[in-house]
Chain A
Amino acid sequence: MHTEQFSYHRAESVEHAVELLETSDDARILAGGQGLIPLMKKRELTPDALVDITQIDELRGIERTDDTIRIGGLSTHREIADSALLKETAPVIPRTVAHITGGQQVHNVATIGGNIARAHPGYDYEGALLSAGSQIVVSGPAGKQRVPVSEFVRGPCSTTLAETQLVTSIEIPVLSGDRRGGYAKKKEPASGNAIVGVATDLLFDDDQSTLVKSARIAVNGLQGCAVRLDATENKLEGKQLTPDRLEAAAGDASSSLDSSAVLDNKKASAEYRLCLLEPQVQKSIRQAVGERTLYSQT
């Protein structure tokens, strides 16, 4: 045992979890433990109590209501990557999860709730959730709240989540039409985390159409939080997708970005991250476009 001593509590329900979080001074939620336990072993985090939420059934499952997909906060990387429903309705999400490293061992236990709650800039979910227009559903003493992902993550490893709240689910709007997703990532080789990860959520009328109804493209790993690439999106949205336009859109990726906010650290310099952006954006869009033949004027 390398951690400091802590007490362990198993929550039976969301209400119970909130209660447990309220009653202990310095409690932490334990989901898959893939982010939390390494920090505790190094004693970088020394919570007094752990509230284990893994037995709470209502946090599981991926379902569709009329216009929303609800991903339970405890859904594992594996369940999400394998979800036929998500592949159909919000393909950017499972495409992204396929790029999370750590192998089956990590994928079988790590959860989406834990991933987004940790809000690490090198993690992959944030960009995909942002591109898919997701809301983070949190529960706490004051009840349930929906927070857009862009507001939920405040900065590197920082969220608006109060100590007494937990992420119960993630909601993604269902869009009608042919929705396509892509994710391209340049990994840092030791951690497998993203130096640059680009998530693309494109909407077409049908699988033949090359008219982009909507384009939502977000990048994570580049700055402290994931950001949308407005310039690229604008180049594509409402337009016929031609090979030139695709390249031009990728070429514009950095133009709407605050380049002073680009991370500059030992994983990669800011300059190099920006160099990687365009090719990764291209790759990500191409993956979303898939086999469809691009529009050509001739």
Chain B
Amino acid sequence: MTPNHSDSGIGSSVSRKEDRKVLLGGSKGVDDIPLSDALHIQFIRSEKAHATFTVDATDARDVSGVVAVYTPDDIKQSETTTPNPFTLFSAPMEGVPYPDDSLRQRSFAEDKVHYHGEIIGMVVAETQRIARDALDEITIEYDIIGPVVTPQEATADDAAAIHESVPDNVAFEGGQGDRDLTDEQFENAAYTVELEKDAQRVSPTPLEPRAAIGQYDEATEHLDIIATTQIPHAYRRLLAQMLEHPENKIDVTVPDMGGGFGARQHPYPADVLVGWCAVDLERTVKWRSTRTENQLVENDGRGYEGTWEIALSEQGDILAVRADIRYDLGAWIARGAASLAEAGNLLMTGLYDIPAAYSHVTGIVTNTARIDAYRGVSATPMLMMLERLVSKVAKKAGMDPAAVRKRNFVDPDQFPYQTAGGAKYDSGDYERNFDIGLDELDYSSLRERQEQLREEGRYIGIGISCWTEVAGLGPCGHIDVATWGYGGVQVHPTGEVTVYAGSSNHGQGHETSLGQVASHELGVPLDSVTVVENSTKEVTEGVGTYASRTAALTGGAVAKSCRKIVQKGGKVAAHETGVTPDVIEFDDGTYYPIDSPEDAVTFSEVARQVHMGADIPEEMEPGLEEQTYYDPENCTWPFGTHMVVVEVDPDTGEYDIDQYVATEDCGVQINPTIVEGQIVGGIAQGLGQALYEEVEYADDGTHLSAPLRDETLGSNGGYTVPKAEHMPDITIKSTTTPSPHTPHGAKGMGESGTVAAPGAIVNAIEDAIEPFDIDPMTPPITPEKVWMAINREGKE
């Protein structure tokens, strides 16, 4: 049977079904859910980063309208089981054991706080205002312990231990790759470059601050949670385990959610305590964070600092890459944090055929909020550094950075390609993709123009960055939780279709893209497909949306379920037309015997017939519904090239991005417009990391980056999330190298911009100001930093 095409199938840029609702303000977030007689929670949060403490809540309990105040003692003494510590979903890397149990995050601080914002307790009141007012009545006495805010401080000789059982603040340490071979390659290299990086924590900053509602029915012992999570089913599983409550008596629903970017993957202490509180009070409780509260404790991304190196041969072959990384984990090791170290190492050789790579990662706890997944995860620092190094070593060798890249790409016939870091790339055709970018820029003339302009005192720079990511995680057994994709498909007797997706839509357009997969496979119009997602009540199972996995894995599962359906329908059609199933064709929603197309039966006729169960083959069960748990044989490895042209004004350090060309390859695109949206959004966040964003902590561990707009005199003005006015025009091009192993050749496409943009932009700025012979820049590169570099260190 051949795949079936319709106007709205795979490859069509249909408008997103969800746009109307989103654009006209019809979205409903957690805070929009109408609730009668819910109680409101406000968390008591630590104002200090590292201290032992005592809490006095006497006055707060007396505030009229306060229903309960929970200090650590109240939680521990309650009949409701105290939440268990969080778990990790994987060990840091192969051969490195799980970190000490004492590093697993706790839902509240018992007598010592470890970061600014850690939960000490909660106030529950009839209104949010009363709960907030009562917070002001709580007195906390702190006994400060010297905070260690950076990995450097945390590993200094006299550093205070954040957790007693880990006196050196080192959570884990391990290496990946072949160290000896790498060292040897470095010794034989003609050119080497070494580059430092600081931790540059960045905040994912979804539009909607986190929120949760817990509803408990004491009669059935059912706990209903409405929350902001990207992984409803896994979230349920975690709550069940932490609250010691049966999993089949918990449901998790996610209404329209305003973004996640990885930060809404794993529950936070607040989520667990909302559930706990609902059970304890046997009531409906609601918590909605403010922006400030959200930024204070929501996980940051990156946190990688250290030294990266590259080795190049006389001829321009990249011989090896090496990294020594200190990984800032925050005060507790977050559920996904440990394994991010491995993910970065896997692809540290990028798109190049580099024979040797070694990276050593030391995971360090600091008195800060946790670090966990953020779009691009550890691919961002690893590839930003690799791409910076490739450009630098090329220049050192007097070679063109584009030429060195072309020389070193993995060739199309080398796939599947085993990287020196341990990944197996599925498919790729890098040079073809790269050349499109070069052509678009008219690269060699642009280099000439750059020379001419320099004569006139104008400084343009060209930055290139190639990328890949671990998309569509992945084959089961890769980490210690399930990672298949779930897709159920039900065909109604009317021929309409409902897709039950085990992923989570929070802006990606799954209603459309997953609908397109079903439309394509079943030959039904997109309008007859409804996609149900984000609910453990409606969707049997799921792993959620993260690691750019939905197109490949949920899409793959939906495709497979559709194919099972088409096959079953084929048997019915064969039965109906009196032929054997092997001579039945299925095309654009119709079945027909290959030799007598006039005996066609439509898909909806078949659907009705199977539903009725009357005239179907004897051994067949009625009903047309299938499920798939799709365990892929590999992750997918999309790739691309970002090329950026900037002009820098040396008098002021200001820069303009004149051109931004992203050439992408994510295999078969389900919906090119949605792919473009992912690219542009990712670039915005990558641009943020290159130019604007950095989470800041004061020396005493006070978090300083909560407001997005701050009028406090002397402040930095707020944490800068790039806005429309900061975005360049982006030219998007693509190539298509299908994944050989996903059902419809799609690869993941969520993170390209966040991985590629930082390196491309930083390279462009450094290329522009190269004549001034300045030291490497440290992102975020503000105009003031450029100006300082040129005017303080500048040697021209």
Which residues of A are interface residues toward B (Cβ below 8 A)?
1-5, 35, 38-39, 41-42, 101, 120-122, 156-157, 186, 188-193, 265-269, 272, 275-276, 279
Contact-residue size bin, chain B (C-beta under 8 Å from the other chain): 35 or more
Does B713 lie at the interface of the complex (its beta carbon under 8 Å from any beta carbon of A)?
yes
Task: Give the residues in chain A near B127, CB-CB below 8 Å.
Answer: 1
| Interchain CB contact under 8 A, B711 and A38 | yes
B327: interface (CB < 8 Å): no
B784 touches A268 (CB 8 A): yes
Beta-carbon contact of A189 and B784 below 8 Å = no
Are A121 and B713 in touch, CB under 8 angstroms? yes
Q: What string of 1s and 0s marks CB contacts (under 8 Å) between B108-139 and chain A?
A: 00000000000000000001110011000000
Closest to B724 in A: A103
Residues of chain B from 189 to 226 with CB closer than 8 A to chain A in the complex? none
- Contact B652 A276, beta carbon cutoff 8 Å: yes
**A3: chain B residues within 8 A (beta carbon):** 129
Chain-A contact segment, one of B5-13, B309-317, B466-474, B714-722: B714-722
Given A42-B292, A189-B726, A190-B719, decide whether A4 and B713 contact each other with a Cβ distance below 8 A: no
Interface of A is mostly: loop
Contacts of A4 in B (CB 8 A): 133
B132 and A275 form a contact (CB under 8 A): no
- Judged by DSSP, the binding face of B is loop
A190 (CB) vs chain B CBs: closest residue: B718
Contact across chains for A266 and B716 when beta carbons are under 8 A apart: yes
Tell me which residues across on chain B come within 8 A of A2, comparing CB atoms.
Answer: 128-129, 132, 290
CB contact under 8 A between A275 and B719, given known A157-B713, A266-B714: no
Chain A residues near B651: list those with CB within 8 A: 275, 279
A151 smallest CB distance to B (angstroms): 21
Given contacts A1-B127, A190-B709, contact A269 B717 (CB under 8 A): no
Chain B residues, CB < 8 A from A42: 292, 707
B710 is an interface residue with CB less than 8 A from chain A: yes
Residue of A nearest to B692 (CB): A189
* Residues of B with C-beta under 8 A to A190: 692, 708-710, 716-721
Question: What is the bound-complex CA distance between A120 and B713, given in angstroms?
Answer: 8
The answer, yes or no, to whether B787 is at the interface (CB within 8 Å) is yes
Report B530-544 CB contacts with A as 1/0, cut-off 8 Å. 000000000000000
Whether the pair A275, B652 counts as a contact (CB closer than 8 A) is yes
A265 touches B714 (CB 8 A): yes
Report whether B717 and A1 are in contact in the complex, using a CB–CB cutoff of 8 Å. no
A268-B784, A272-B784 as given contacts; A193 in contact with B652, CB under 8 Å = no
Closest B residue to A267 by beta carbon equals B717
Q: Chain A residues near B713: list those with CB within 8 A.
A: 121, 156-157, 265
Q: Which residue of A is nearest B791, CB measured?
A: A275
Number of A-B contacts (CB under 8 A): 78
**B717 contacts which of A122, A157, A186, A275 (Cβ < 8 Å)?**
A122
A52 to chain B minimum Cβ distance, whole angstroms, is 20
Within 8 A of A (CB), among B252-291: 290
Query: Known: A1-B127, A189-B717, A191-B718. Is A120-B711 also a contact (CB below 8 A)?
Result: yes
B712 to chain A, nearest CB (A): 8
Residue of A nearest to B691 (CB): A189
How far is B127's CA from A2's CA once the two chains are assembled, in angstroms? 11
B711 touches A35 (CB 8 A): yes
Complex interface bits, B651-682 against A, C-beta within 8 A gives 1, otherwise 0: 11110000000000000000000000000000
Cβ contact within 8 Å between B709 and A279: no
Which 8 A-B pairs rank lowest in CB-CB distance, beginning with the nearest? Answer: A190-B718, A266-B716, A191-B717, A188-B717, A190-B720, A1-B129, A190-B717, A265-B714
Roughly how many angstroms separate A190 CA and B716 CA in the complex, as a whole number?
Answer: 8
In the bound assembly, the distance between CA atoms of A268 and B785 in angstroms comes to 10
Distance in angstroms from A85 CB to nearest chain B CB is 28
- B711 touching A193 by the CB < 8 A rule? yes
User: Given contacts A156-B713, A190-B710, A267-B716, is CB(A5)–CB(B652) below 8 Å?
Assistant: no
CB distance from A221 to the nearest CB of B (A): 11
Q: For A224, give the chain B residue with the smallest CB separation.
A: B713
Task: Return the contact of B711 from the options A5, A41, A191, A269 (Cβ within 8 A).
Answer: A191
What's the minimum C-beta distance from B595 to chain A, rounded to whole angstroms? 64
Chain B residue nearest in CB terms to A155: B713
> How far, in angstroms, from A122 to B714 measured CA to CA in the complex?
10
Q: Roughly how many angstroms separate A120 CA and B653 CA in the complex, as a whole number?
A: 26
User: Complex: how many Å from CA A188 to CA B705?
Assistant: 15
- B690 → A minimal CB distance (Å): 13
Q: A4-B133, A120-B711 are in contact. Are A193 and B717 (CB under 8 A)?
A: yes
Q: Which of B649, B653, B787 has the most CB of A within 10 A?
A: B787
Least CB distance from A77 to B in Å reads: 16
Task: Give the residues in chain B near A279, CB-CB below 8 Å.
Answer: 649, 651-652
Nearest residue (CB) in B for A191 is B717
Knowing A120-B711, A157-B713, A265-B714, say if A272 contacts B719 (CB, 8 Å).
Answer: no
Q: Which of A2, A39, A190 counts the most chain B CB atoms within 10 A? A: A190
Residue of B127, B711, B715 with most partner-chain A CB within 10 A: B711
Chain B residue nearest to A192 (CB atoms) is B709
> Which residues, 50 to 92 on B, are CB-close (under 8 Å) to A?
none
Closest to A264 in B: B714
